[in-house]
């Protein structure tokens, strides 16, 4: 696997990289430690986009430059060109971006809608956002031809803004026999670009993915739970 180009999912960088055992298996054997994502979050995401996307970037946050959401590319699979980690190993980034912004000054943005507990620190999302910024600035030929050529460009660069548009359910203010009206707190959190931080993380992931042997389960509470359950069932 040392010379093979590894396609890395941006979500894995944020949520799978902390367990070397799970990471190694996904990229070497296809065995996945899958979490079930409640469907209600997808429904919330669809409705948030349905409302905000046609309104332009200022409806998302006044801190963003004037522009619009590129609805043609949102939720479509896009892939970077072949890149190299700090050890010279080839990889690609590939996944479905949440929201891509086109600013009227010629720059671009990447944001995620998150229905979540609003916190000041959501730093683990930087890897996903920076991954999609990298893909937009350095797309492979298929992504470029499919999504960018129609706009007269071969990439979306520079990506100048990244961030989270967070929604947190709060109080219920009204109801009927069939509906409930519930308020949501909303907050925009800008995330600064940091390509070096992303590449450092990917290099550490590639160390694990290209290892000839699978790491043990000691770093993952979920893996230890599964292992203990299997041993108890013997």
pLDDT in tens, 53-72: 999 999 999 999 999 999 88
Question: Per-residue pLDDT tens for 85-114?
Answer: 999 999 999 999 889 999 999 999 999 998
Beta strand 90-96 with 99-103: parallel, antiparallel or unpaired? unpaired
CB 89 within 8 A of CB 4: no
**Residue 57: CB partners within 8 Å, gap ≥ 6?**
64, 65, 66, 67, 68, 69, 101, 103, 109
Q: Tell me the pLDDT of the chain averaged across its residues.
A: 90
* Range 43-58 average pLDDT: 92
Q: Please state, in angstroms and rounded to a whole number, the distance separating the CA atoms of residues 206 and 27.
A: 10
pLDDT at 128: 93
Q: Rounded to the nearest 10 degrees, how much is the dihedral formed by the CA atoms of 46, 52, 55, 61?
A: -150
pLDDT score for 176: 97
Whole-model pTM: value is 0.90
Q: Measured between alpha carbons, how far apart are the two ends of the chain, in Å?
A: 35
**Closest C-alpha to 204, from 127, 96, 95:** 127
């Amino acid at each position: 696997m040392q010379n093979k180009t590894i396609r890395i999912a941006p979500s894995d960088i944020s949520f799978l990289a902390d367990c070397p055992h799970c990471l190694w298996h996904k990229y070497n054997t296809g065995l996945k430690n899958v979490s079930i994502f409640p469907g209600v979050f997808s429904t919330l995401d669809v409705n948030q986009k349905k409302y905000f996307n046609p309104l332009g970037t200022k409806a998302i946050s006044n801190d963003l430059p004037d522009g619009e959401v590129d609805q043609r590319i949102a939720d479509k699979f896009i892939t970077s060109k072949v890149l190299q980690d700090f050890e010279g190993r080839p990889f690609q980034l590939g996944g479905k971006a949440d929201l891509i912004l086109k600013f009227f000054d010629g720059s671009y943005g990447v944001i995620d809608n998150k229905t979540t507990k609003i916190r000041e620190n959501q730093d683990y999302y930087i890897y996903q956002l920076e991954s999609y910024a990298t893909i937009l600035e350095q797309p492979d030929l298929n992504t470029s031809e499919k999504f960018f050529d129609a706009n007269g460009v071969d990439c979306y660069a520079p990506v100048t803004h990244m961030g989270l548009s967070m929604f947190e359910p709060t109080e219920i203010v009204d109801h009927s026999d069939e509906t409930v009206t519930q308020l949501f707190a909303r907050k925009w959190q800008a995330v600064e670009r940091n390509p070096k931080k992303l590449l450092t993380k990917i290099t550490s992931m590639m160390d694990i993915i290209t290892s000839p042997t699978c790491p043990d389960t000691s770093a993952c509470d979920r893996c230890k739970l599964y292992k203990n359950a299997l041993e108890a069932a013997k």
